[in-house]
Amino acid sequence: MDPPRNLDTKLLRVFACIYQSGSVSVAARELDMSQPGLSTALMRLREQLQDPLFTRTTGGMEPTRRARALIGPVRQILQTLDKDLLAPPQFDPATSTKEFRLALSDIGEGIYLPLAIRSIQYTAPGISLRTVVMPPRELEEAMASGEVDLAAGFFPDIRGTQVIQRRVGLHSFSSIARVGHPAASEPLTVEQYAQLGHIVVEAPGRSQEVFDQFLREKRIRLKVLLRTPHFMSVPIVVAETDAVAIVPQALADFVRNYGGIQELPMPFVPPTFQVNLFWHRSAQNDPSNMWLRELMISQFPALRARRYARNGEPRGRRRA
């Protein structure tokens, strides 16, 4: 005859419990079943396996030869179910050596990496981070496959229904110049500001596209002194020359802490852009991904404490 199909794992638990206890009543009590219900389950299993499995004796339920042959595989199946399928996934950041992969935009690296490193360095010393850069379409696929755990920053092209996002806040841009720059002595007109020697960053980050579009709409053409794909070299050049640069506010806040750089008020209010956290729905209940998200979210008060004001607004009207 054909082997049974769609065997109910509950029946296997009934079989293993009767085998272990040698009693229908004891097995029913241990499995929190009624005795008639357990007897019905045993009857179904006997029908499917075409074997009585147990015979009633004065010493209890005696297993048949078929039952003795089955108990090992059945116990292994139940152990695999309980250990690998039914047990809730565990994640202990204090002992984990997992490498998390983060997709960060230009602004994302400046905002999140210091916060993330500071948070994990002492509470999760075995965990490491890897940052990646990829186009939005590839990024959605990478999050779906688990190649990327979390994305953070400005990614306006991520719109898939399988990607969950949480807003961090609005961010903007700042103009930086060296301390003592001659243009900082008095307010500039748009024309005067545009004629300063500007450093323009042509990086893959989408936040720069926001500002470029803003300039086109306002018909403002900057006099460009240098074009570079690297944000981090800009403050060095600015500090040593009379060149100025428009950078994400997070970068301007960072370099001002190290001296030699000051904010140069712009004669217009720059645009804002929204920064989010992104993760795939398939990782929504993954404990390691949940821990990473909570770690980032726990730093939101620190992010809000930094006032990413829109450079160029009149004093007293600056907004976070």
Question: Which residues lie closer than 8 Å to 107 by C-beta, 6 or more apart?
Answer: 153, 154, 171, 205, 207, 248, 250, 251, 273, 275
Handedness of CA 310, 268, 233, 239 (dihedral sign): negative
CA 104 to the chain's CA centroid: 10
* Rounded-to-integer distance, Cα 219 and Cα 210, Å: 14
Is pLDDT at 311 greater than 60 in this prediction? no
* Rounded-to-integer distance, Cα 278 and Cα 112, Å: 13
The burial class, CB within 10 Å (0-12 / 13-18 / 19+), for 243 is: buried
Cβ proximity of 274 and 136 under 8 Å = no
Cβ proximity of 176 and 283 under 8 Å = no
Identify which has the larger pLDDT, 201 or 313. Answer: 201
Question: Which residues lie closer than 8 Å to 197 by C-beta, 6 or more apart?
Answer: 223, 224, 225, 226, 241, 242, 243, 244
User: What's residue 315's pLDDT?
Assistant: 40
For residue 277, what is the DSSP state?
Answer: E
Length of the chain: 320
* Rounded-to-integer distance, Cα 53 and Cα 66, Å: 6
Cβ proximity of 253 and 262 under 8 Å = no
Is pLDDT at 5 greater than 70 in this prediction? no
Identify which has the larger pLDDT, 300 or 194. Answer: 194
Enumerate the H helices of 155-286 as residue ranges. Answer: 190-194, 207-217, 234-240, 249-256
Degrees (nearest 5) of the Cα angle 311, 194, 154? 45
CATH superfamily of 99-170+273-305: Periplasmic binding protein-like II (3.40.190.10)
> Would you identify the CATH topology of the domain 173-263?
D-Maltodextrin-Binding Protein; domain 2 (3.40.190)
Terminal Cα distance for the chain, rounded? 75
Secondary structure percentages of the chain, helix, strand, coil, to 5: 45, 20, 35
**What six digits make up the tokens of 138?**
């590839």
* Rounded-to-integer distance, Cα 21 and Cα 27, Å: 6
Which string of b and e fits 207-216 if b means at least 16 CB within 10 Å? bbebbeebbe
> Which 3 state secondary structure label does DSSP give 212?
helix
Place of tokens 């301390």: 179
Domain boundaries in the chain? 9-85, 99-170+273-305, 173-263
- pLDDT tens for 129-176 read 999 888 877 888 899 999 999 998 888 888 888 999 988 777 889 999
User: What's residue 198's pLDDT?
Assistant: 96
User: What's residue 303's pLDDT?
Assistant: 57
Same CATH fold, 173-263 and 99-170+273-305?
A: yes
Q: Quickly count: other Cβ atoms within 10 Å of residue 124's Cβ.
A: 20
- pLDDT tens for 7-55 read 788 899 999 999 999 999 999 999 999 999 999 999 999 999 999 999 9
- pLDDT tens for 53-112 read 999 998 899 999 999 999 999 999 888 887 766 656 678 898 999 999 999 876 667 667
For residue 161, what is the DSSP state?
Answer: T
Per the DSSP assignment, residues forming a β-bridge with 170 are: 274
- pLDDT tens for 186-236 read 899 999 999 999 999 887 666 778 888 999 999 999 999 999 888 878 999
What residue type is assigned to position 239 of the chain? A
Q: Which CATH architecture has domain 9-85?
A: Orthogonal Bundle (1.10)
User: What's residue 159's pLDDT?
Assistant: 81
